Structure 1
Amino acid sequence: MTHAFSDVRAFRRDPLRFLLDRGNRAPVGLERLHLGPKPVLLVTDPALIRPMLKAPETEIGKGRLIRKLQPILGQSSLMLHGEKHKRRRDVLQKRMAKGAVERYLPELCAEIRAVGAKIGRLGCFDPHRHTAALALRTICIAVFGTQLISAGDEQALVQAVGMIEDDLADDMFRVLPVGPVGWYRQKRRRDFAKLAMSTVVQRLRERAGSASVLKDLEDLGLTDEELHDEILTLLLAGHHTTGTTAAWILYHLAVDPDLMQSIAAEASECADGSGELRADAVRRAELSATLVREVCRLYPGAWWFSREVMSSTTIAGHKLAKGTSLLISPWQLQRDPRYWDQPDQFLMDRTYSTDAYLPFGAGPRACAGMGVAMLELQLLALEMAAAFRFTSVTPNPPPRPKASVTLIPPPMSIEVELRADAGRCQSVMAWPDVQPARSRAVGRSFW
C-alpha cells in the first residue's frame, strides 16, 4: 500500500539501489518518492535539470534538505542565494578555474609524488586512505597558493569529517527524530568535530599569505565567522569529494594494466626534459582526461543534490507546487540505460556531451572547484602511471560504494611496484627496500 512514508525503508536500507531501481524504471520526467509528508520528486529527465537550476531563486531555491548542513557549514556560499552567493562564487571561480590553478602544477605534482613515495614503500595500500589526505593538501594549494596544512591538522580534519559524515547523511532524509540518547551522542560528536575543524581553519588563516582566495574574500567585507565558514566549506567539499573519486582513479588503473601502461606513455609525452609535466601538454592529454571523466560518471562525488519549489511554478510543462523537493541524482542519471550504453561498465570510448552527465552539478551553482578537481585527478593518473605498476587489486570487482555525504569507496588493497625501466622516483629511491634492480640505470626522473 502506497502512503506518504512507503519508500522510507527501502531508501534508508540502500539509497543507491533504490534510486537506480526507481529512476531507471520510471517514465522519463518526474517520479514521486514517498519519503515523508512533503512531496519529493526524482528528476529522471536530464532535459529538465538546467531549466530548474537556472530558474529564479524566488521560484526554485536551495531548499530544506541542503539546509540540514547549515549547523556545520554555516553561512558559506553553499548555503547562500542571491547577490551574496554570486559575489562569493565569482571570487571562487576566478581563483579555482583550471587555467588559474595550472600555475601551481609543480606544487600539485609534488604532493602527488609525496603520496607515491609512501605507497611505494608500503608495497600494498588502500587507495582511499591516501587520496583523502592528498586531496586536502591540494585544495590548500588551490585556496592559499601553497600547501599550508600540517600533518597533525590534516589528520584532525580528516578524522573530524569521518566522525560526523554518517550523521549528516542520516539527517538528510530522516522522517522521525532520533531519541534523546542518540541525539546526545550525535551532538557530542558534532561539537567535538566542529571544534577540531574550527581550530584547523583558524591556523590556516593565520598562515595564509596575501595572494590567496582568503584575501579576495576579505576584500568582499566578510566577517570573521563568514570567512571561517567559507574556508571550511572549501576544505571539506574539496577534499572529501575529490579524495573519494581519486581512490577510484587508482582502482581502475589497477584493474586495467594496459590502460595504466598507455597513460604512462601519455605522461612521458607530457613531460619536459627534466621530467616535469607541462601544463600545455596536460591540456592535450586526452586519455588521462577521459579516464577522469569516466570515473566521475560511475562514481560522482556528489551523488545527489536537491532544490525546493519556493513558489508554484511551471517548468517545461510540469506544474510544481510550493514546498516540493526536487531530487537530482547524478548517480542514477549517469547509470541510466536510456542515456548510456552498458551504463554499469567502465568504458573509455564514451562521449560526455549530454545533459545526463553532471558529476559537478550544472547551471549557476555548478561546483566552483570543478577545474581544480579535474586537474588534480588527471595529474594523479599521469604521475602514478609514470612511476608505478599496480600488480593486483582486491576485491575485484569491488562492492558498491557507501552512500554517505559522498560515495565512500569500500576498503581495497592494491599491490604496487616501481617501474623497473623508468628510474623516475628519486624520492622513493631513498627507501632502499623499494629500489628496483634496474631503476638507477635508465630513464629520466619524475620524482
Structure 2
Amino acid sequence: MRHWFSDLVAFRRDPLAFFLDRGSRAGSPLERLSMGPGEVFLVCDPQLVRQILKAPTADIDKGKLIQKLSAVIGRSSMTLSGEAHAARRRVLHHQLARGLAAGYVPQISALIRRQAAALAHETGFDAHHATARLTLRVICTILFGAGALTQADENLLIEAIQEVEDDLAADMFRVLPHLPWVARAKAVKMRAARDKMGIVVTRARTRAGESSLLAALEALDLSDSEIADEVLLLLLAGHHTTGSAAAWVLHHLAQDPELCDEIAEEAEAVSDSAGEPLAARLPAATKSQALVREVLRLYPSSWWMSREVQRPLELGGQKLKQGASLLISPWHLHRDPRFWEHPERFEPARQHNGPAYIPFGSGPRACVAMGVGLLELQLVALEFASAYLISSAGGPVDRPRPSITLIPPALPLRLAPRLKSTPMNRAWAT
C-alpha cells in the first residue's frame, strides 16, 4: 500500500537507480513520487524539462530544495531569483563565456602541464584527487589571477567541503526535523565549515591581481558577504563539477589507448610550432570535444536539479498546486533507453545535441560557467594525451556516489611519457 513516504526508502538506498528506474518506466511526462506530504514529481519528458527550465519565474522558480544549499553558498546566484539573480548572471556569463575564456588557454594549459608533470613522477594517483585540485586552481586563476590560492588554502577548502556535503545531501529530502541536539550539532558543524571556506575566500581576495571577474562582481556594488558568497560558489563549482568530469576524462583515455592516440594527434594539429594550443583552432578539435560531451552524458556532475511551482498551473497534462516540487535528473535523462541507443556504453561518436542532453541545464538559467568548463575539460584531454600514455592502475570501477554533486569513485591511474616527439609534448619540457 502506497503512502506519503513510500518512495523515500528506495530513494535513500540508491538515488541514481531510483531516478533511472522510475523515469524510464514512467507512463506520463510527470511521474508522481511519494516523498512527503507535498507534491513531488520527476519530470520524464525532455521537451517538458526544457519548457520548465525556460518558464517565467512567476510560474516556476527555484524552490525549497535549492534553498537548502544556502547553508553553505549563502545568497549567491545559485539560490537567488529575480533581478538580483539576473544582474549577477549577466556579469558571470559575460566573463565566463567560452569566447572570453579562450583568453585563458595559456594559463590553463600551464596549470595542467605542471600538475601532470608532478603526477608522472608518482607510481600512481587517484584521478579525482588530482583533477579536483587542478580545476580549483584554474577557477581561482580566472577569479583572482595566478597564485592567489596556496596549498594550505586548497587543503582547507577541500576539507570544509567534505565535512558538510554529505550532510547537505542527506537533509535535502528529509521530511521530519532532526532532534534538537542533532540539529544544533549539525548547525555548529555547518558554521565551522563555512567559516573555513570564508577564510580561504578572504585570503584569496587580498592576494588578487587585476581580475576582470572579481572586478566585475565588485562593480555591482555588492556587500563583502555577497561577493564572498558568489566567489565561494564559483570555487566550489570549480572543485566539484569540472573536477569530477575531468577525472572521468582521464579514466576513459586510460580505457581506450586508441582514442588517446587520436587525441594526441589532434593536440598536435591545434598547436603552434612551440607546442602551445591555439584557442582559435580548438573548435576544430572535434575528437576531444566529443570525448568531453560523452563523459558529461554518462557522468553529469549535477545529477539532479529542482524547480517549484509558484502558482496553480497545468503542466504535462496534470494540474499542479502552488509549491509542487519538480525534480529533473540528467542522470536519468542521459541514460534512458528511450532517448539513447545503448545508453550505458561509452560512445563519443554519438550525437549530443538532442533534448535529453542537459549536463549544464537549459534555457536562460543554464550553468553560467559552461563555456569555461568545456574549455578546461578539452584542454585536460589534449594536454594529457599529447604528452603521456595513460593506464589504469586498478580493477573494476564502482559507480559514482551521489551527493550534492556526483562524486567519482577511486580511479587509480598511471602516466608514462610518450616516446614520439611532437610540438606539444616538447613544450612540456620548457
Q: Does 1:446 align with 2:428?
A: yes
- Partners of 1:391 and 1:410 in 2: CA distance: 16
Paired residue type of 2:179: G
- CA-CA distance at 1:337 after TM superposition: 0.4
Paired residue type of 1:306: S
| 1:197-212 aligned within 5 A | 197-212=197-212
| 1:174-193 aligned within 5 A | 174-193=174-193
- CA-CA distance at 1:145 after TM superposition: 4.3
Aligned position for 2:417: 418
- Partners of 2:322 and 2:78 in 1: CA distance: 22
Paired residue type of 1:266: E
1:276 and 1:446 in contact (8 A); partners too: no
SS at match of 1:76: coil
- CA-CA distance at 1:316 after TM superposition: 5.1
Aligned position for 1:405: 404
- Partners of 2:361 and 2:145 in 1: CA distance: 26
Paired residues in the alignment total 429
Paired residue type of 1:164: V
- Partners of 1:189 and 1:395 in 2: CA distance: 36
SS at match of 1:36: coil
Q: Does 1:155 align with 2:170?
A: no
- Partners of 1:109 and 1:26 in 2: CA distance: 44
Judged with a 3 Å threshold, the aligned counterparts in structure 2 of structure 1 residues 75 and 392 are, in CA distance, closer, same or farther, namely closer
| 1:50-65 aligned within 5 A | 50-65=50-65
- Partners of 1:39 and 1:422 in 2: CA distance: 61
1:251 and 1:393 in contact (8 A); partners too: no
Instruction: Give the alignment's Cα RMSD to 1 decimal.
Output: 1.5
- CA-CA distance at 1:358 after TM superposition: 0.3
Aligned position for 2:125: 125
1:330 and 1:357 in contact (8 A); partners too: yes
- CA-CA distance at 1:199 after TM superposition: 0.4
Q: 1:112-160 deviations in whole A, cap 9, x for unaligned?
A: 0111012100031110110011111111122234342111101111111
- Partners of 1:393 and 1:288 in 2: CA distance: 23
Judged with a 3 Å threshold, the aligned counterparts in structure 2 of structure 1 residues 28 and 374 are, in CA distance, closer, same or farther, namely farther
1:95 and 1:142 in contact (8 A); partners too: no
- CA-CA distance at 1:314 after TM superposition: 2.4
Q: Does 1:312 align with 2:312?
A: yes
Paired residue type of 1:136: L
SS at match of 2:191: helix
SS at match of 1:122: coil
SS at match of 2:427: coil
| 1:7-406 aligned within 5 A | 7-315=7-315, 317-396=317-396, 398-406=397-405
Q: Percent identity?
A: 49
Instruction: Give TM-score scaled by structure 2 length.
Output: 0.96
- CA-CA distance at 1:94 after TM superposition: 0.5
Judged with a 3 Å threshold, the aligned counterparts in structure 2 of structure 1 residues 143 and 154 are, in CA distance, closer, same or farther, namely same
Comparing 9-18 with 45-54, greater Cα deviation is found at 45-54
Aligned position for 1:440: none
- Spell out structure 1 runs of 4+ moving beyond 6 A: none
- Partners of 2:83 and 2:300 in 1: CA distance: 29
- Partners of 2:305 and 2:216 in 1: CA distance: 28
Paired residue type of 2:212: S
Judged with a 3 Å threshold, the aligned counterparts in structure 2 of structure 1 residues 161 and 268 are, in CA distance, closer, same or farther, namely same
- CA-CA distance at 1:180 after TM superposition: 4.2
- CA-CA distance at 1:213 after TM superposition: 1.4
- Partners of 2:414 and 2:235 in 1: CA distance: 30
SS at match of 1:300: coil
Q: 1:219-262 deviations in whole A, cap 9, x for unaligned?
A: 11111111111111111122211111111001101111111111
2:144 and 2:207 in contact (8 A); partners too: no
- Partners of 2:17 and 2:316 in 1: CA distance: 28
Paired residue type of 1:404: S
- CA-CA distance at 1:391 after TM superposition: 2.9
What are structure 1's unaligned runs of at least 5 residues? 426-442
Aligned position for 1:437: none
What are structure 2's unaligned runs of at least 5 residues? none
Paired residue type of 2:428: F
Q: 1:331-378 deviations in whole A, cap 9, x for unaligned?
A: 000000000000011002211121100001111110000011100000
- CA-CA distance at 1:28 after TM superposition: 4.2
Q: 1:152-175 deviations in whole A, cap 9, x for unaligned?
A: 101111111111110111111112
Paired residue type of 1:67: Q
Q: 1:292-334 deviations in whole A, cap 9, x for unaligned?
A: 0000000001000000001111235442211100000000000
Paired residue type of 1:212: S
